[in-house]
Amino acid sequence: MHADDLRSIQAPLKERYRAEPQAALITLRAQGRIGEGVSCRIETGKALVTAGLHPATGGTGLAACSGDMLLQALVACAGVTLNAVATALGIELRDATLQAEGDLDFRGTLGLAKDVPVGFRAIRLQFTLDTDAPEEQLATLLRLTERYCVVYQTLAHPPALAVTRKAAQPERLTT
């Protein structure tokens, strides 16, 4: 895709969002259902993924680990954002690879040490770019990728979170 193609696709959206800011507010949803053993089946829109315990907490390794999925979401979002920003700036990327690593201490998750946090202690996102672009352009590319990557910004500036419980709906009998 060329920068002009991207601009022509996004121009009407930007115009609408400027005129109607409320139209830009979209609620994304994810849905899952508990599965066999200690697992949860997630509907991704493209496939069904079964998430389960990481082997460090007793899982078999056959189900996706939600921690891995978080890092994969970061890589996916950063990769799409990098590609869009490079396109918009006219930077030719012959290739680009992204890698996310996150450090976890499973003693927190397993409730073995109250002083150990549950969750990632640190996450690192690394880009390997094959391009002839000068360093100044690459610095801009990475700065804008960081700025516009939804998952990165959500992790860097956590939103307000709420947990609620909805009563289960009884199944209706049909006669």
Amino acid occupying residue 114? K
Tens digits of per-residue pLDDT, 64-120?
A: 889 999 999 999 999 999 999 999 999 999 999 999 999 999 999 888 889 999 999
Query: What pLDDT, on a 0 to 100 scale, did the predictor assign at position 174?
Result: 66
Tens digits of per-residue pLDDT, 128-164?
A: 999 999 999 999 999 999 999 999 999 999 999 999 9
| Residue at token pair 């700025």 | 147
Bridge partners (DSSP) listed for residue 168: none
pLDDT band at 27 (very low <50, low <70, confident <90, very high): confident
Mean pLDDT confidence for 4-19: 90
Query: What pLDDT, on a 0 to 100 scale, did the predictor assign at position 101?
Result: 92
Go through the domains of the chain in sequence order and give each one's CATH number.
66-156 (3.30.300.20)
Indicate the burial class of 17 (C-beta count within 10 angstroms; 0-12, 13-18, 19 or more).
Answer: middle
